[in-house]
Each structure stands twice: as C-alpha cells, then as structure tokens.
C-alpha cells in the first residue's frame, strides 16, 4: 500500500492571526521568528488581497521580507535569551505609524510567549494615536477555531462599541473567517438573499469588515451564527455584556436549497419580516438546477447512488453530508471532521448517519475511501486521487488549496452555492463515467 501522511492542521496561533488579518484596515505584527510569518502572510494575501502587486521586489522594507502582510520581528536565539524589546520598539516605529492602519495588533508566536516581555506595556507606550491589541498567548497547540475566537473576543473586550441606535433590520454575521474557502462570495450571497427581505448586514466577525463597522456592531439587532466553532463564544459574550440576541439556526449552514430556504425563514422569523421574496429566489434557482440534474439523471442514473467522501469542520461536514445524501441520493463512503470543538453539528451528523445506517462512515479515512466524489482541502484531494489509482472527482472546499485561481467570485452558501456545488459534482461524475 502506498504511504499516506495526513495533513497537519493549523493551530490556535494561525487562528488568531487569520482572525485579525480579516479586519480590513488592521496590521498584524508577528513577534516571532521569520519562518513563522511566510505562510500566514501568503495565505492572508491570497484569501484577502489588498495590494495589486504580487512581486516581492515591491515589498523590500525591513520586517516584510518581500510580502505585503504580517510584518515580523524576526527573533533569533539572542532575543530568546535577552528579550525582544529592542526589535519590538523598532518595528512599531516603522509599521504602526502608517496612516492606512486603524488597528495595530501584536501577536506573540508560541516561542515568543515564553520570553516574558511585557508586550502590553511596551506597545502601550509606543502606539498612542491608534487602537491596538496585544495577544501574549494564542493558545499554543490549541485548535485553530479556539485561537480565532480568542483573538476576536479580546478585540471585542478591548474596543468598546461606539454608542449607536439599534437598527431593527440589521444583522451581524458571526463565525466566518478569511480562511474559509469562498468566504467573500458566501457573504455576498447571504447579503443578497437578506436584502431581498429588507435586511442589511452591519459587520462580519472577522471576514472583511473594517474597524469602524466592527466598533458599531451594536447597531445590529441580531447576531446570526454561521459556523458555531468560529463564533458561538463571541455571540454568547455579546449577549451577556451587551444584551445582543443571537440566532443559531436549527437548519445549520445555509448550504443546499432546502437548508437555505429554512435558514432565511428562521432569520426572517426572528426579525419579524416576510421571507417569501428570498424563498422565491431560491426556488427559482432550484428549478433551474433541477432541469440540468434531471437531464443528466435520465441518461446516466447519476448522481443517485454515486459515493462521496467529506473532510471538513463540523458545521460544513454536517451540511454537505445531509444535502448530498438527502437531495442528490449520493452515498457517503467516509466523513471526517477536521479537529474542532464537537458541538451540536457533530452530534447532529452522528445521529443522521446512525439513523440512516451509515454510522460506520463517520471517522473513516477520506483518502482511502475510494469515493467517486471527494470534498476536502487540496492536499487531501491530491492524496485521495493518488491512492485510488483511478480518476475521482475532487471538489476543493477548504484550505490548503491546489492553487486554482478564482477570477469569478464564488459561494458555497445560499442558492448560488448550491448551484456551484451541483455543477462541480455533475461535471466531476461526467469526468469519471462519461
């Protein structure tokens, strides 16, 4: 059997950096070795580009190392013995003064957290005209989602919301990250559906909103929780400290046509508005999709009966499994959950598979499943295709990526997300079976 090494998933350190990199006008200063910055800078710039150029010669400044994001103090052995104060002072003098930055966030690498420097005291005395945030310890080897929520929670605690009058038909989207595949298109698709019902979005935590919008998050009358593993603690904190209600839709993520309709109905019920305009829009997309699905099925019998494998975080894994099995009649061969807090979505997924006699698929290896369609990150897709020994349809739903350039903005959520996934599945099966 060919060897197979599973992915090493990013930890709480990465979760904290990508949370803060999701703020439009923030700079994240990494206090750590140079090697800790390259991945985080590259992914932040790839997922949420702010600069036109990708040429490293355009970023020759010290601390940036040819990349536009996540400047680093490049600590070495001397600094771990005698402290990093001198390098922190210099990078703050160079970076924190740039006018485009409305928030300065300094994040310790796990190693730098052991040095013992007074990060808060150092930054406080040198960043005087700009809000700042210091994260001494991101959680070391904790989960990515833990680091994400810890960083955003500290941001909420440090930045008191600007007093604002609550807007009755305004919401915040909580629990989505720039590390999510197609996060921007998914947000715009939900914004489109909500706007059909007269609902607007105040802010997203933290996936593209600027500091001004984040500081006015209390203008929203409702927080909507998307991925609970990325936002449940944040919603609970805002509810406790600012009496902001939040909705964790029973339908889960709005992935697939029925889930999207149920999601918009729940949101509209909470805000006491009519969901019909958005529901009709989703149903029109569903009718268009059914035309293509029916024609393909009438010739091949597929996708009913085709096998699939999913590797994703709990909320996404549950939504995909239910939709592919209940709507398309596909059969799960393996369902792997990426390490995260196993909350209600994981419990629901386990129950769903058990009730359908498919409980043996939960935790089975995706790369060894031999499934017709594999939905996972790029590395897992490459491994699955190699081990299967024959073609399989791979759909990239998470990072790391295989490097496909998405010129057209895409979504996995809402009506357009359902149509995209259906298109990829049907074309993938045509690639395998003709």
Which pair of tokens denotes residue 343? 């909350």
Cis before 303? omega within 30? yes
pLDDT confidence of residue 387: 76
Residue ranges, comma separated, of all CATH 3.40.50.1980 domains in the chain are: 12-145, 167-277, 281-433
**Which SS3 state, helix, strand or coil, does residue 337 take?**
strand
pLDDT confidence of residue 141: 84
End-to-end CA distance of the chain: 29
What's the topology of domain 167-277? Rossmann fold (3.40.50)
What is the architecture of the domain spanning 281-433? 3-Layer(aba) Sandwich (3.40)
pLDDT confidence of residue 391: 79
Full-model pTM: 0.95
Reference 213, options 22, 16, 27, 52; nearest CA is 22
332 φ/ψ angles, rounded to the nearest 5 degrees:
-70, 135
Q: Where are the beta strands (DSSP E) in 186-306?
A: 200-205, 220-225, 246-247
Task: Supply the Cα-derived Rg of the chain in whole angstroms.
Answer: 23
What's the topology of domain 12-145? Rossmann fold (3.40.50)
pLDDT in tens, the chain (434 residues): 455 566 778 999 999 999 999 999 999 999 999 999 999 999 999 999 988 887 888 888 899 999 999 999 999 999 999 999 999 999 999 999 999 999 999 999 999 999 989 999 999 989 988 999 999 999 888 999 999 999 999 999 998 788 888 999 999 999 999 999 999 999 999 999 999 999 999 999 999 999 999 999 999 999 999 999 999 999 999 999 999 999 999 999 999 999 999 999 999 999 999 999 999 999 999 999 999 999 999 999 999 999 999 999 999 999 999 999 999 999 999 999 997 777 899 999 999 999 999 999 999 999 999 999 999 999 999 999 887 777 789 999 999 999 999 999 999 999 999 999 999 999 999 999 87
């Amino acid at each position: 059997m060919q060897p197979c090494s599973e992915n090493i998933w990013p930890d709480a350190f990465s979760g904290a950096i990508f949370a803060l990199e999701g703020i439009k006008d923030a700079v994240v200063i990494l206090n750590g070795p140079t090697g800790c910055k390259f991945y985080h800078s590259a992914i932040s710039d790839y997922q949420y580009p702010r600069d036109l150029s990708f040429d490293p010669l355009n970023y020759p400044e010290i601390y940036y190392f040819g990349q536009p994001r996540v400047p680093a103090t490049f600590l070495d052995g001397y600094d771990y013995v005698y402290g990093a104060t001198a390098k922190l002072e210099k990078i703050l003098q160079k970076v924190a003064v740039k006018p485009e930055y409305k928030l300065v966030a300094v994040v310790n690498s796990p190693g730098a957290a052991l040095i013992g420097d007074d990060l808060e005291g150092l930054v406080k005395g040198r960043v005087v005209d700009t809000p700042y945030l210091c994260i001494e310890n991101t959680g070391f080897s904790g989960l990515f989602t833990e680091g994400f929520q810890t960083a955003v929670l500290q941001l909420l605690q440090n930045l008191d919301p600007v007093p604002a009058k609550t807007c009755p038909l305004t919401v915040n989207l909580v629990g989505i990250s720039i590390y999510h595949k197609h996060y921007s298109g998914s947000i715009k698709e939900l914004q489109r559906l909500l706007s059909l019902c007269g609902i607007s979005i105040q802010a997203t935590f933290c996936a593209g909103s600027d500091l001004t919008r984040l500081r006015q998050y209390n203008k929203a009358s409702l927080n909507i929780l998307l991925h609970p593993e990325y936002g449940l603690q944040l919603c609970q904190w805002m509810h406790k400290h600012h009496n902001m209600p939040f909705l964790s839709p029973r339908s889960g993520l709005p992935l697939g046509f029925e889930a999207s309709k149920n999601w918009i109905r729940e949101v509209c019920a909470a805000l006491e508005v009519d969901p019909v305009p958005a529901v009709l829009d989703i149903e029109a997309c569903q009718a268009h999709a059914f035309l293509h699905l029916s024609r393909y099925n009438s010739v091949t019998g597929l996708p009913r009966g085709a096998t699939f494998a999913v590797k994703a975080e709990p909320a996404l894994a549950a939504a995909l499994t239910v939709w592919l099995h209940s709507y398309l009649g596909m059969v799960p061969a393996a369902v792997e959950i990426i390490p995260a807090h196993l909350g209600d979505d994981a419990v629901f997924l386990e129950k769903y598979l058990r009730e359908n006699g498919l409980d043996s698929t939960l935790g089975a290896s995706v790369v060894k499943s031999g499934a017709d369609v594999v939905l996972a990150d790029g590395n897992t897709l490459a491994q699955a295709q190699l081990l299967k020994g024959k073609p399989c349809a791979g759909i990239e739903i998470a990072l790391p990526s295989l490097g496909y350039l998405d010129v057209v903005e895409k979504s996995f959520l809402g009506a357009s997300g359902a149509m995209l996934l259906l298109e990829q599945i049907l074309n993938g099966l045509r690639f395998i079976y003709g």
